[in-house]
Chains A and B, each alone.
Chain A
Amino acid sequence: MVERSKVMKNFWRGGELFVWMSASGVAFSLLMVAGMLALIMINGLGQFWPGALQETTLKTQETVIGQVVGEEVIPNSVTPDSPAGQRRFRYRVGNRDVFGAEYRWINAADIVSNARPEDLTVVERREWGPAFGRISVGVEGAAAGSASGSSWTTVKNLVERANQLRRRIEHLEREEIGSINYRIEKARLARHALTLSGQLSPGDTEKAGILLDQIAVLERDYLAKTEALERLHKEAGQEVLFLTLSTGRSVRLSLDQVLAVSRPNGMNWFEKLWAYAHNLWLFVSSEPREANTEGGIFPAIFGTVLMVFLMTLAVMPFGVMAAVYLREYATQGSLVRLVRIAVNNLAGVPSIVFGVFGLAFFVYALGGTIDQWLFPEALPNPTFGTGGILWASLTLALLTVPVVIVATEEGLSAVPRDFREGSLGLGATKFETLRHVILPCALPGILTGLILAMARAAGEVAPLMLTGVVKLAPALPLDEYLPFLHLDRKFMHLGFHIYDVGFQSPNVEAAKPMVYMTTLILILVVVSLNWAAVRLRNRLRRRFTASAL
């Protein structure tokens, strides 16, 4: 007994307990980081794997076809008789248009048998998400003569052809008709601009007439193109697949609705890997469908990158200039010290405040004025007087400029005094010293600041919501029409995409895997930028501590 109490006493006195307690803080933080990353990776990366389709027969003689995506103990099923409780499985049964819901719970107790026949097919559709079933009858319509029943190769070839047709339709719609629309709108605005001044000179009248003729020609062109489009649509709609669902019901699938067909149960490991890579590529490179809950996120990635790029262009010269002024040119006194603290603290001001400022200053005040001066013909439709990628980038530039200033100042102050004095002593002017000696030495610091600013900008969402981000942008801010870069356009953003799809879409459950993947991409971008900045900063510190010795 005495021995034991002595052990306890030592334990208490030694304070080991408290050391361990503090260690638990570190352990907990690391667990949270690791857990969160694992969660996002598993949920995000898992979705592209072609999951097996399971055909389950229930006690009620009902058959269910679907991917098993989860299982759990039925809540409140734990009773004294069954301490483990009842289990149930979550099936993704697809066919949202027929079944009403994409997911379904099935109690383990109800299952009679499970099977994974190879002929179960996943049909990716343009609308209503995937459909699961058997392609039973084969083909009907234009290609009926060539098809010999329901052979899998025939089906695949048909889908491939339908996809080619769809690409042609898309090209026609977007490129050709889009371009005509764009030119009509331009001509219309140009004509309106002529009439705005009130009095038309003879030359102006002539110009207006020419524009009117142009519009007429374009409109004829437009009609011809829409007719061609109509024909293509008809052609695409002719071919039909029949899919037998788990309920035995046969569903007609027009081929222009079908994006891809696959039979995951028949795939080998290599084929699955290939399908995985293909799906992943489609996700990053294609456009969203179905209110952003399906398809890809290319416009969001593009918007994020372009916005960050524009922001960098704005923030770099001004941030560096301000830092150089504060550190090299301003008289160091209490005022500069105060300004430094204030700038430093601006980095801690909530981002939404910058968003509010951006909305009032850039969008309403600046944009409204620009519209009145430069784009009066489009009024009352705003051109710059509404949110757009330029205003969003400038708002974020304001938000991140303190980061650049602080990092640049740190870089400048780390340049040893001897360097400056040496350069000045050799007769260089102050600016020459700055340009050829100090700035090259401080470059890593400046870059660190820039990278940190980019990372911060890529992850911010709140200010963007007020200054120009949208859930679905009709066109990218960069295209082949003059002036190529459309600074007034609204844009899509990865972070806002997460918010929008996760919280405002009609079918959150089905969209969740996509959101996880989007999240993963955003985190990858932001965290890798931050790592780069940290590495750069550490190298900078080492370099100058070494040189100071």
Chain B
Amino acid sequence: MSNINRREFIAGLAGMLGTAAMTSSLANAVEVGLTFKPSGSHLIFSKQQMLLVARISDIIIPVTDTPGAIAAGVPYYIDHMAADWMKKAECNRLLRGIDKIDADAKVNYGHGFLALASEIQVAIVQALDDNLKQEPGYKTLKTYTVIGYYSSKIGMTVELNYDPIPGPYKEIPFSDVGKAWS
């Protein structure tokens, strides 16, 4: 699906969902709020940016049979990296990317990203992900989301197979472990 088609698809989706989107937006905001509460110790993100990063990272790496990005502390990791690790250009790219997702949602749906129905949020993130190379802000956000998750304790020990002291090296069938080593 091309970028434009994807946008049309989302627009159509929003139209279809109509008021449902409106009502579920409140519930959704509450849900995000319950799942993720900025502690006030965030370094560079505004509270709004923290909430946006939390929701988007949760869409990229959701709760499944294992915890997702929020439980793994990804929003705080990205905030920390943005404040203390990234070069100014990369940090600005990230911040602009986050704000743009919110601003685009207002233009396209009349509501900020966090107020949209979960299905629309997922469709928006899916569209961005399909155009990863053309979306530098989102790409930065995704890169740090993925690194943050898979290098977290949850990502390494719950999602993947953590093996700090493997013992003597040996060849095994993959079915013996069923998950990649972290």
Is B a genuine binding partner of A? no
Question: Chain A residues in contact with chain B, CB under 8 A?
Answer: none
Question: Chain B residues in contact with chain A, CB under 8 A?
Answer: none
